Amino acid sequence: MYLTADEEAMAAGSDGPAVKWAMDYQLAVGGFFGARRLVRVRSAHAHCDGEALGEPGVRFLEQLADQGARARIPLTLDPRSTDFSCALDIGQSQSIVDTERRILAAMARMGALTTNTCINYQTVDVPHGGEHLAWGDTGTVIYANAVAGARSNFEGGPAALAAALTGRVPAYGFHLDECRRGTVLVELADQPRNSTDWGAVGCLVGRRFPGYWEVPAIDGAERSPSPDEVKQLGAALASYGSHAMFHLVGVTPEARTRADAFGDNEPRERMVIDRAALDGAYRGFAPERESPDIVVFGTPQLSVFELAELAALFEGREVSCPVYATTSAAVLRSAEEYGYAETLRAAGVRLLSGVCYYLMTARELGRSNGFRTLVTNSAKLANIIEGYGYNPVFRSTEMCVDAAVTGRIAG
């Protein structure tokens, strides 16, 4: 791999042991993927929650901080495992609270912005076309690549941190033009009506064409979906298919036409999505019982527009089971200013900040609270949470609200 003089010096240890570790890590990754050089990145976004890291991971971060590690570029953080304001109230242990505080302290010492959000692209770090990034959350990466035209691979925790310490990543995958072209064609025979329908599209496409190197090109949208709708599409594609990029013909910047989306490629395979297929995606998540144990909104975290929608649906009503809505600290402050948080809390909705439910020691929460049947408007959460022992039920936002209020699951 070609290295500049500065990169050779970092690899030799001139900038200290933490930077040398980072360069060694990146050279190993680059060698595995056949990268010929490193590329400078503008920002990094790291996933480092307490449940994923455990004690060894936390000690590793503290060791790097003790060695004087310092981010060279803006470094933001993905959601953590607990909302400090209510962790013990909802059944989490003091140990996960203590672990998360240690992680935040170590990352702050290294210069990170402790944002704890998976919607950084909507709030604190908006990507733009052509720039190179080192982002770790799959939903953030697919949004940056597809919607903004930026360039990032899935930079798992250590990789994103290494990028923050060096300001670089190996130039492979979605940093390169040839990996960004469409591989499969998806035609919309019927139109998605809302954000959960777009999540259902991601579920169907991801299941049909799984694989990191697949780039689905979706054609036939008669209107430009909202940022929250494409957020749900991208998050579902990344969850069900491990996709890091997609094209939405006529909407996303590298797919003004179908020909743009594919370049010199021909679609390897085609699929058609109609209303029956979308309805089938919902029906595939069948409840074991007619009453929900918990209803969860978020994953990705909710935007202020999504909280406004929920406030309108819950206004003057009262929940009959635990209801969690997860968002970022910045969005929650806006929701409080605009009155949405007050409306939701009056209905009995618990607003959680800095977290996503599946990261919140979900198995332990289920055991301590008797949660089994979980109703959600997030296709991504429905996919992940089953692995923690839940019976996920994916429904539209309106149906989730009705289930929370009536205690009965429709559909």
Domain that includes residue 360, residue range: 285-406
| 143 and 262 both lie in a single domain | no
Is pLDDT at 47 greater than 90 in this prediction? yes
Q: What percent of the chain has pLDDT over 70?
A: 100
Is pLDDT at 45 greater than 90 in this prediction? yes
Could you report the per-residue pLDDT of 151-202, keeping only the tens digit for each?
999 999 899 999 999 999 999 999 999 999 999 999 999 999 999 999 999 9
Closest among 351, 343, 354, 340 to 317, alpha carbons compared? 343
What would the DSSP string read from start to end of 93-134?
-HHHHHHHHHHHHHHHHTT-B----S-GGGTT----TT-B-E
Average pLDDT, the chain: 97
Q: What is the CATH number of the domain that holds 394?
A: 3.30.499.10
Is pLDDT at 264 greater than 80 in this prediction? yes
Please check whether residue 128 lies inside any domain of the structure: yes
Is pLDDT at 246 greater than 80 in this prediction? yes
Is pLDDT at 97 greater than 90 in this prediction? yes
Residue ending a domain, among 158, 177, 196, is 177
Is pLDDT at 313 greater than 90 in this prediction? yes
Do 186 and 205 touch, CB atoms closer than 8 A? yes
Contacts of 83 (CB under 8 A, 6+ apart): 352, 353, 354, 355, 360
| 124 and 21 both lie in a single domain | yes
Q: What is the structure's pLDDT at 360?
A: 97
17-33 vs 157-166: helix crossing angle, rounded to 10: 120
Residue ending a domain, among 177, 193, 211, is 177
Buried b (16+ CB within 10 A) or exposed e, 30-61: beeeebeebbbbebbbbbbbbbebeeebbebb
Residue ending a domain, among 282, 302, 331, is 282
Could you report the per-residue pLDDT of 336-352, keeping only the tens digit for each?
999 999 999 999 999 99
**Main-chain phi, psi angles of 207, to 5 degrees:** -65, -35
| 147 and 212 both lie in a single domain | no
Please check whether residue 378 lies inside any domain of the structure: yes
Do 354 and 338 touch, CB atoms closer than 8 A? no
Please check whether residue 153 lies inside any domain of the structure: yes
| 167 and 26 both lie in a single domain | yes
| 27 and 149 both lie in a single domain | yes
Using pLDDT thresholds of 50, 70 and 90, give the confidence band for residue 370. very high
| 165 and 218 both lie in a single domain | no
Q: What is the structure's pLDDT at 157?
A: 82
Q: What is the structure's pLDDT at 405?
A: 98
pTM attached to this predicted model = 0.97
Q: What is the structure's pLDDT at 126?
A: 97
| 309 and 255 both lie in a single domain | no
Is pLDDT at 411 greater than 80 in this prediction? no
Question: What total number of domains does the chain contain?
Answer: 3
Using pLDDT thresholds of 50, 70 and 90, give the confidence band for residue 59. very high
Do 142 and 234 touch, CB atoms closer than 8 A? yes
- Tell me how far apart the alpha carbons of residues 246 and 337 are, in angstroms, rounded to a whole number: 35
Give percent helix, percent strand, percent coil of the chain, each to the nearest 5.
45, 15, 40
Q: What is the structure's pLDDT at 91?
A: 95
| 127 and 206 both lie in a single domain | no
Please check whether residue 411 lies inside any domain of the structure: no
Please check whether residue 165 lies inside any domain of the structure: yes
